């Protein structure tokens, strides 16, 4: 939630700068600029491309990727932000998706509208004080999977089941048509702050991934 400085604006693309200026509230604009300029700086350090020269292309559903013929191997990345916190996940050999959410009150109708019967059953079994933690465990797991698959929210959330119990490890439990999400996604709980929870989804086609391989860096200064 640090205010952006002139160099943060300077490394943004023209499109990113236009998007930033369209925000109505200065706080939202500043968060967007800081998140995207930091993302460019981090991706530049991994790719060897100057941050201001990184070009992105999007798939059919809007998932970005670095567009550069000089890279010897693709660099996978995914950005998420909620409130004053942003998380960027980067990998060289794994497809990934990440989502975080600030813990806050949510109308239970949201769960009933989006979640599957099995997920709702799990939520209903929770003590009242754990319901919101269960909701956000479920929500961030679903979002991370869809972002990893490059689908955005273009798939019914109730077409696949994830673990909704906040005391259990996040996981993909079941999948039904029209969802065709691969079964080899592994999921890791994120806790970037006391009031923020999230999920990192990593596609492990070779079955060799270990959560110990995930390294965390704070750029909050």
pLDDT at 221 over 90: no
Confidence class for position 161, pLDDT limits 50, 70, 90: very high
Closest CA to 130 of 197, 210, 62, 212: 197
pLDDT score for 36: 96
The residue behind tokens 């989502």 is 99
42 touches 88 (CB < 8 A):
yes
Mean pLDDT to the nearest integer, 17-22: 97
Residue 38 reports pLDDT greater than 70:
yes
Q: Which parts of 48-160 fold into alpha helices (H)?
A: 108-114, 117-124, 131-149
Provide the pLDDT for residue 188: 95
Q: What pLDDT is attached to residue 70?
A: 62
């Amino acid at each position: 939630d640090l205010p952006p400085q002139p160099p943060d604006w300077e490394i943004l693309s023209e499109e990113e700068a236009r998007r930033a200026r369209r925000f109505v509230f200065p706080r939202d604009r500043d968060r967007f600029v800081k998140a995207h300029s930091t993302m460019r700086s981090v991706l530049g350090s991994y790719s060897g491309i100057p941050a201001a020269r990184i070009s992105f292309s999007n798939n059919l559903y809007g998932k970005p990727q670095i567009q550069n013929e000089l890279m010897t191997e693709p660099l996978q990345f995914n950005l998420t932000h909620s409130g004053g916190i942003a998380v960027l996940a980067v990998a060289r050999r794994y497809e990934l998706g990440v989502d975080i959410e600030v813990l806050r009150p949510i109308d239970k109708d949201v769960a009933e509208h989006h979640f599957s019967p099995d997920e709702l059953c799990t939520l209903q079994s929770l003590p009242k004080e754990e319901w919101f933690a269960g909701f956000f465990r479920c929500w961030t797991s679903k979002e991370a999977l869809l972002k990893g698959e490059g689908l955005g929210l273009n798939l019914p959330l109730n077409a696949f089941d994830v673990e909704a119990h906040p005391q259990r490890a996040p996981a993909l439990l079941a999948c039904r048509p029209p969802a065709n999400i691969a079964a080899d996604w592994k999921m890791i709980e994120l806790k970037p702050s006391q009031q923020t929870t999230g999920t990192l989804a990593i596609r492990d086609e070779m079955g060799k991934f270990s959560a110990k391989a995930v390294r965390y860096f704070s750029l909050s200064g």
